[in-house]
Amino acid sequence: MKTIITTLSLICASTAFAQPVVDGTVDASYGAPNAMQNTQTGFGNSDLGMPDFSNGSEIDAGYAVIDGGYLYIMFAGNLESVFNKIDIFVDARSGGQNRLRSDNSDVDFDGLNRMGDDGTGNGLTFDAGFEADMWVSMTCGGEVFTTYASYAELHTEGAGFGTYIGQGTSGGDGAIYGKTGFILALDNSNVGGVGYGEGLGCGEGVTTGIEVAIPLYLLDWDGGAGDITSAKVCAFINNSGHDYMSNQVIGGLGGSPNLGDPRNVNFDLIAGDQFFTIGGTADPCPDPTGACCFDTDCSDLAEADCVALSGEYHGDGSFCNTDPSPCAPPPCQGDVDGDGDVDVEDLLIVIGNWGCSP
Ligand SMILES: [Ca+2]
Ligand SMILES: [Ca+2]
Ligand SMILES: [Ca+2]
Ligand SMILES: [Ca+2]
């Protein structure tokens, strides 16, 4: 018995001390996910299954560890190769920005400041207590698949340093190795995780995505950071101009349409934590939802709730906000002029065109 316990301890110890490899694949050393996606993606469900090109974006789960002078962060999911962005904010030291300013570094075509206060008192606002110290962003696309990354310090009073990090391709061999010590990798192979929609979903079971290693010394621009032993991470998928936020935020939104202009988003007004913490435990996945019809009225509900209310359930992953609505009555056969009914006007059109045979 003693031998077994000793062997198990050794296995646990070796797992716990192995540093992640930055290749876009979840390592055992991350342990269990610190956050799990609970919302379907409004930015497309990728089904290509290729490590590079992807036709959808989602953040299925979040992991983070600090080891050997680096903060490692892994986002299971996909980044659509149309220059969608993943915007990552890290709170790992005193100070920082709870509401994003607009006098931060001009990087990625001023995309960081596009999310900040435009002078009217708005600006992307994080949950209470989250004061971001660093922004990192990654994107991908092009005829020849290429990844790009940028980062910036977020000082309490703005005007921190920021720069383009570099470019790469997919997987570990294609990782971006920046001059500053950053490493970023992307593997877009995932075809699981959440589906398309804006209802509840579950990001479980995804092992590939976006992986980042941040050298801790970069968070200590003034020698005042102290020994960094923990970190909080907020991340979301944004469009190519950093000006239209998806509903893929980690932690999740609990079912939501895309959030739109980032400078009008306030995570403190949205239920739950829109960030995760090293060592944190992910909430269990919610029951999936789908469109539930009460005649022509529609609600996104779990199947059990829909049935209990005598609604007609349209299946997991279906949702109400489509055109036409899943609850819309079928169009009339013979409604030639498309005004919603079949009457003599339709008949006259048919008679007027009698014999037409192009
Ligand atoms: Ca990895
Ligand atoms: Ca901070
Ligand atoms: Ca998916
Ligand atoms: Ca919140």
Q: What is the pTM of this model?
A: 0.84
Distance (angstroms) between ligand 2 centre and the Cα of 279 equals: 18
Q: Are 262 and 249 in contact (CB under 8 A)?
A: no
Structural domain includes residue 305: no
Q: What band does 1 get if pLDDT is binned at 50, 70 and 90?
A: very low
Per-residue pLDDT tens digits for 30-78: 999 999 999 999 999 999 999 999 999 999 999 999 999 999 999 999 9
DSSP 95-140: --BSB--S-S---TTTHHHHTS--SSS---BPPTT--B-EEEEEEE
79: containing domain: 19-277
Distance (angstroms) between ligand 1 centre and the Cα of 318 equals: 33
What pLDDT score was predicted for residue 17?
Answer: 59
> Of the bound ligands, which one is closest to the alpha carbon of residue 208?
1
Structural domain includes residue 52: yes
Q: What band does 4 get if pLDDT is binned at 50, 70 and 90?
A: low
- Percentage with pLDDT > 90 across the chain: 80
Structural domain includes residue 302: no
Q: In the predicted model, what is the mean pLDDT of residues 275-281?
A: 97
Distance (angstroms) between ligand 3 centre and the Cα of 192 equals: 4
Structural domain includes residue 316: no
Q: CA-to-CA distance for 235 and 137, rounded, in angstroms?
A: 9
- Percentage with pLDDT > 70 across the chain: 95
How many structural domains compose the chain?
Answer: 1
What pLDDT score was predicted for residue 317?
Answer: 75
> Of the bound ligands, which one is closest to the alpha carbon of residue 256?
4
> Of the bound ligands, which one is closest to the alpha carbon of residue 95?
2
What pLDDT score was predicted for residue 309?
Answer: 96
> Of the bound ligands, which one is closest to the alpha carbon of residue 209?
1
Distance (angstroms) between ligand 3 centre and the Cα of 316 equals: 13
Is pLDDT larger for residue 288 or for residue 348?
348
Structural domain includes residue 229: yes
Per-residue pLDDT tens digits for 154-194: 999 999 999 999 999 999 999 999 989 999 999 999 999 99
pLDDT of residue 2 exceeding 60:
no
Structural domain includes residue 101: yes
What pLDDT score was predicted for residue 242?
Answer: 98
Q: In the predicted model, what is the mean pLDDT of residues 255-277?
A: 97
Structural domain includes residue 228: yes
Q: CA-to-CA distance for 157 and 136, rounded, in angstroms?
A: 19
Distance (angstroms) between ligand 2 centre and the Cα of 65 equals: 17
Distance (angstroms) between ligand 3 centre and the Cα of 81 equals: 15
Q: CA-to-CA distance for 38 and 148, rounded, in angstroms?
A: 28
Structural domain includes residue 221: yes
